[in-house]
Amino acid sequence: MTLQRFVDNALVNHMPGRVVWVALSGGLDSSLLLHMVAPLARRHGIELRAIHVNHGLQAAAGDFELHCRELCQALAVPLSVAHVEVEPAGRGLEAAAREARYRAFAETLAAGDRLWLAHHADDQAETLLLAALRGSGVRGLAGMPATRQWRGIQIERPWLTLSRSDLVREARRREIVWCDDPTNVETMFDRNYLRAHAMPPLRSRWPRLAEVVGRSAAHLQEADELLGELAAIDLAAAGGDPERLLLTTLRILSPARLRLLVRHALQSQGLPTPPAKRLAELERQLRAASGDRLPAIAWAGARHASGATICF
């Protein structure tokens, strides 16, 4: 299947009245995506817009913004530019930048809009490997979903199964101009280190690395969905309110299901999950709690306290 067909298929089920947005960084992947979707959107009568987030983290940020403005002008695509402040605050620069970027998406797009991200199979492979190196659970190892709902916005990655080499060939064939991010060579960032030093020898040994790892990510996404369904069943049995979980129900759950339910309840409220040691302590206190005791567990960004119920 050609890249054109991937994009065209993604537009087939478009709902009238919704806007398709392309997250445009100015790099090869997103520049190519905008080039390809612009004529197709006009053909289908779909409103297409682009959004560029200027993080202001490097001297080249202004050049990236200028490139995006010129590209959108040439393609007759309306562009929104969001200037954001990135505040690491102990979370790491990459995580803080991502949070600022998504905040800009939420402030710019309307509910029901579709946001297209240009992630590809190599990005997915890097994401899964990084998650494994960080000791992530099923959700982290599942990588990036092809589609998901987020704050009323439909986030889509139309060519998540395509390799970057496929995109490079198409961009060169079309003689597309893009900006190379100078920070990509800075191996102080984990992803850049993995991309520069680990991925090349892995691909040399396993040429279909991205494809195979992508299949593993898809299996893990399915497992994560099933775990979510199980957690929803247990949440209903525990009263249905993620802020107040019945101790009588929690005490009859296996340790694994109890931890799953706690994580599910916290995530449904947008709260961080506790580290493994805190989660184990929470479990211990829950099983030991009596009517005259009010156990409490605190961790970064959240607090647990309970009497007859568990309150998050």
User: Which segments within the chain are labelled E, that is strand?
Assistant: 19-23, 47-54, 79-83, 114-116, 147-150, 153-156, 244-246, 296-299, 302-306, 309-311
For the cut 60, the answer to whether the pLDDT of residue 294 exceeds it is: no
Structure tokens at 21: 């947005």
Decide: 157 and 116 in contact? Cβ < 8 Å: yes
The residues near 129 (Cβ < 8 Å, ≥ 6 apart) are 194, 198, 213
Rounded average pLDDT over 259-272: 86
Mean pLDDT of 224-249: 92
pLDDT exceeds 50 at position 205 = yes
DSSP letter at 198 equals: I
pLDDT for 306 equals 45
How far is C-alpha 4 from the geometric centre of its chain's CA atoms? 24
Overall average pLDDT of the 210-217 stretch: 94
Higher-pLDDT residue of 141, 277: 141
For residue 293, give every residue at least 6 positions away whose Cβ sits within 8 Å of its Cβ, in sequence order, or none: none
Q: How far apart are CA 268 and CA 274, in angstroms?
A: 14
Answer whether 124's CB lies under 8 Å from 143's CB: yes
The residue ranking higher by pLDDT, 132 or 243, is: 132
Please give the single-letter amino acid code of residue 294.
Answer: L
- Judged against a pLDDT cut of 90, whether residue 310 lies above it is answered with no
Q: How confident is the model at residue 308 (pLDDT cuts 50, 70, 90)?
A: very low
How does residue 28 score in pLDDT terms, banded at 50, 70 and 90?
A: very high
Can you give the pLDDT at residue 4? 80
Residue 69: its pLDDT value, please? 97
Is there a contact between 179 and 24 (Cβ–Cβ < 8 Å)? no
Question: 155-185 pLDDT, tens per residue?
Answer: 999 999 999 999 999 999 999 999 988 777 7
Looking at residue 111, its pLDDT comes to 93
Sheet (strand 79-83) strand order: 79-83, 47-54, 19-23, 114-116, 153-156, 147-150
Given a cut of 70, is residue 77 above it in pLDDT?
yes
- Judge whether 240 and 233 are in contact, CB under 8 Å: no
Pull the structure tokens for residue 282.
């929470």
Measured CA to CA, the distance from residue 118 to residue 166 in angstroms comes to 13
- Percent helix / strand / coil, the chain, rounded to 5: 55, 15, 35
- Per-residue model confidence (pLDDT) at position 116: 97
Q: Residue 301: count other Cβ atoms within 10 Å of its Cβ.
A: 11
User: Residue 258 pairs with which residues in a beta bridge?
Assistant: none
Minimum mean pLDDT range among 74-78, 120-124, 265-269, 295-299? 295-299
47-54 and 79-83 beta bridge pairing: parallel
Cα four-point dihedral sign 170, 175, 181, 182: positive
Task: Judge whether residue 303 has pLDDT over 70.
Answer: no
User: How far is Cα 300 from Cα 89, in angstroms, rounded to an integer?
Assistant: 12
